[in-house]
Chains A and B, each alone.
Chain A
Amino acid sequence: MRHFIKFGKPYLHTRSLLRGNSGLQTCTHVAKSTGVQDVSKSDGNSFIGMPHNYVTKLEFLEPKMENTIPVYQVLDSDGKIIDETQDPKLSDEIVLKMYKDMKMLNIMDGIMYSAQRQGRISFYMTNYGEEAAHIGSAAALEMKDLVFAQYREAGVLMWRGFRLDQFMDQCYANINDPASGKQMPVHYGSKDLNFVTISSPLATQMPQAAGAAYALKRTNPGTCVICYFGEGAASEGDAHAAFNFAATLDAPCIFFCRNNGYAISTPAHEQYRGDGIASRGSGYGMLTIRVDGNDTLAVYNATRKARQIALEESRPVLIEAMTYRVGDHSTSDDSSTYRTAGELEYWTKTNNPVTRFERYITNERNCWSAEEDEKLSKDCSKQVIEAFTAAEKRLKPSPSLVFTDVYDELPVNLKKQQKQMREHVGAHSQHYPLKRHEPL
């Protein structure tokens, strides 16, 4: 069964036997009926509408750790499709865009990381190792779907069409940054691309995603929400609230966990004792799947199917993508103090999502070649450097913008403070870095 898309069913609910009527035929998911029974019909075998079975043996439930939730795969490590029924049958155009975006993401990360090391930008976070999780999921969604991300999902934005200059302008906090340089680097956002601006406090986006999905169900049927989060963030109270709200309020929300093994220095096994994040799904009454997060096509299939279920059945779906954070947590981190070179080597050499997908398009699809690959790398570098150089040259925003966007318009107290700031900085201009900024 390992190769079939199988969403684990929550145990509690009685479900009708209607089959999901579209999508991959081998999907074993069964559409839901409402699990709650009529309360007025409560009898000895139900509790406020929920079924109850009584037993007379004293037995505690052990978490099932020997028989863990399986990991759905489509591609093997050579890039071959393991089970032909699972081929999503994507066009060459799509798989090439997927690959090119992964490559561009890698090259952008390399250059921005180095830029931070040289003091050109204040901070950066790379996405190395998680390219398949980003691109596979992003490609399975519709552009109208709303994205609530954590911070390590630049590939999702790239797939949606966020341009290099937009990435660079945000990291450089220059006048073209829509947030006027107010946030730290990598806190991207795009109204056009339905990508809600990143916030640093972890897991706060999760209940918000549930709320957005609930609202969109009423106002924009056919639109779903995807919420990305790390396995570390999943320990926050907000994660619990999000799952429970989305489940009880029937919100069409895909909860996409990037389980990359670490939250800064803390390994995943110190984050939970159960069977990962996926095992929680059933407790909340959510459909759940665990996928190989380094397998672009597995992530694609799972997300595509999750989207269909979320919308057709108005319910949240939990995806746990098993991957690995190959880079340091951020430019403020040195991961060699808490993990081994051998571990890293396995995930860069043996289980590398980009290499696996490259093998798929080169050897299995025959729509890509080593020469094209080399040329692509050069082109990407050139484009990144161009965008980077332009972003570096642009001025920083005017100091007056400290006060904008606190409210929809400047209230009296802020107008007064803005005036004070202008007068003060104007009178002591020699002490302020005004040359780098647009005029006061």
Chain B
Amino acid sequence: MSLLRQSRNILSNLKAKSLAKRLMHFKFEPDNPSTNLGPTENMNYLKALTNAMDISLENDPTAIIFGEDVAFGGVFRCTVGLREKYGSDRVFNTPLCEQGIVGFGIGAAVAGSTAIAEIQFADYILPAFDQIVNEAAKYRYRSGGLFECGKLTIRTPCGAVGHGALYHSQTPEAYFAHSTGLKVVIPRSPIQAKGLLLACIRDDNPCIFLEPKILYRAAEEEVPVGDYTLPLSQAEVLREGSDVTLIGYGTQIHVLKEVAELAAKDGISCEVIDLVTILPWDADTVCTSVSKTGRCVITHESPVTGGFAGEVAATIQKECFLNLEAPVERVCGYDTPFPHVLEPFFMPDKWRCLQAVKNVVNY
């Protein structure tokens, strides 16, 4: 392709007044793995996921992994090496059709296989909405447990990356939060990604596993190499504090941890809670914390209206009403689609979250 070479030369003569490389809007701080989970290895979020799938394929001969471009390792490289190791009947490409991928996965699960489906981007899970909401979520209920598809796990990359715009940035947790019968999980780190993916795969309910794709390479830490699961529907208190409870999940956890640091400099003590599971969610941990602090800020990237923060806020106002010192604040995406070059102004970044912390403290 001499044309390409030629244009590269032309361009290198032009002074590179390129886009100021957008800084990531958060810092990833590694967690320490629990000491009783055995030896560890440095893994990024991607490797941790691959490792979890490797363990599943190894231990469960019925397990299959499929989706668009999965065979060569996936567009994000999550399934690299698995086809070579376990065979093309266990790790394979499907035709390009999300409703097909999920419907096929439900069928495989109904027939007793462990089905791990990949939807290439969470933005493209919507053609499968009917299969997920009307089928997967209601299979057990409508048959009185005669048939169910609990062996289905749907993995999908989600969330903002800085330049994904309308269709490579969304997190559809709120749509699925409205569909009881599903479990919806969003891990914040490699350790969580592995333990929670294994938990979802083994859980007897269909799970939607949302992977904030900006963390795939940005998040790296020591991950236990053995087989372990982490509990679903259990929130995690990451930092204890007395003035304000900060609640989030996925990438926003890393934003909130930094907000807590910044607030501490102003003498505000923040408790940070990672919800981890969106459905069914752990209201007890949240309400215990808010009853203690009396103030709370909830955040997610998805648009504020109809977002999951609304559900959390409603529960808090009922359970913690007499302990509240200020109205519950939500810091979320605005009620617009994800904009491309305007994304920095749309995001519920640390500056917006910090402002909300100050608002509830000064109420």
Contacts and interface: CB of A to CB of B under 8 A. Distances in A.
A360 to B, nearest CB: 20
A435 to B, nearest CB: 9
A413 B6 contact: no
Interface stretch (A20-28, A48-56, A178-186, A301-309): A178-186
A333 B95 CA distance: 19
Interface in B50-69: 68-69
A85 interface: no
Nearest to A271: B95
B169 to A, nearest CB: 10
A123 interface: yes
Interface in A194-225: 199-202
B265 interface: no
Interface string B1-17: 10110111011101011
A105 B340 CA distance: 24
A120 B16 contact: yes
Interface in B173-220: none
Interface residues of A, number: 67
A107 B3 contact: yes
A287 B301 CA distance: 47
A403 interface: yes
A402 B342 contact: yes
Contacts of A271: 95-96
A121 interface: yes
Contacts of B12: 118
A417 interface: yes
Interface string A372-386: 000000000100010
Contacts of A396: 341-342
A424 B356 CA distance: 11
Given A337-B72, A425-B345, A436-B20, A183 B168 contact: no
B166 A200 contact: yes
A169 to B, nearest CB: 12
B72 to A, nearest CB: 5
A118 B93 contact: no
From A128, A182, A183, residue with most partner B Cβ within 10 Å? A182
A119 interface: yes
Contact of A381 (B10, B127, B164, B355): B10
Contacts of B124: 201-202
Interface string A148-183: 000000000000000000000000010000001111
Interface residues of B, number: 56
Given A182-B166, A406-B335, A264 B69 contact: yes
Contacts, number: 170
A413 B16 contact: no
A237 B100 CA distance: 8
B313 interface: no
A385 B14 contact: yes
A81 interface: no
Nearest to A117: B8
A417 B341 CA distance: 19
B342 A399 contact: yes
B344 to A, nearest CB: 6
Contacts of A193: none
Contacts of B69: 263-266
Contacts of A237: 97, 99-100, 127
Contact of B163 (A184, A338, A385, A393): A184
Interface string B138-177: 0000000000000000000000000111111000000000
A355 interface: no
Given A237-B127, A389-B14, A183 B166 contact: yes
A114 B17 CA distance: 14
Contacts of A393: 17
Nearest to B14: A389
Contacts of A342: none
Contact of A417 (B21, B95, B335): B335
Interface stretch (A4-12, A91-99, A426-434): A426-434
A319 to B, nearest CB: 20
B299 to A, nearest CB: 14
Nearest to B7: A110
Interface stretch (A60-68, A132-140, A228-236): A228-236
Given A201-B123, A389-B14, A270 B93 contact: yes
Contacts of A128: 1
Nearest to B9: A114
B75 interface: yes
B242 interface: no
Contacts of A264: 68-69, 75
A338 B100 CA distance: 24
Given A110-B3, A270-B95, A417-B335, A200 B167 contact: yes
Contacts of B165: 182-184, 187
Given A119-B21, A200-B166, A271-B95, A421 B334 contact: yes
Interface string B326-363: 00000000111101111011100101100100000000
Contacts of A417: 334-335
B42 interface: no
A114 B19 CA distance: 14
A235 B95 contact: yes
Which 10 A-B residue pairings sit nearest by Cβ, starting from the closest? A110-B7, A200-B167, A181-B341, A173-B341, A235-B95, A122-B163, A399-B345, A235-B96, A232-B96, A111-B7
15 contacts: A111-B10, A111-B11, A120-B18, A180-B342, A181-B339, A181-B341, A182-B342, A200-B167, A263-B69, A266-B69, A381-B6, A413-B305, A424-B352, A428-B355, A431-B351
Given A115-B11, A120-B18, A406-B335, 18 more contacts: A111-B7, A114-B10, A118-B16, A182-B166, A184-B164, A200-B167, A201-B123, A233-B96, A237-B100, A263-B68, A265-B72, A272-B95, A389-B14, A403-B334, A414-B334, A424-B351, A432-B344, A433-B20
Interface of B: 1, 3-4, 6-8, 10-12, 14, 16-22, 68-69, 71-73, 75, 93, 95-100, 123-124, 126-127, 163-168, 305, 334-337, 339-342, 344-346, 349, 351-352, 355
Interface of A: 106-107, 110-111, 113-115, 117-123, 128, 173, 180-184, 187, 199-202, 232-233, 235-238, 263-266, 270-272, 332-333, 337-338, 348, 381, 385, 389, 392-393, 396-397, 399, 401-403, 406, 413-414, 417, 421, 424-425, 428, 431-433, 436
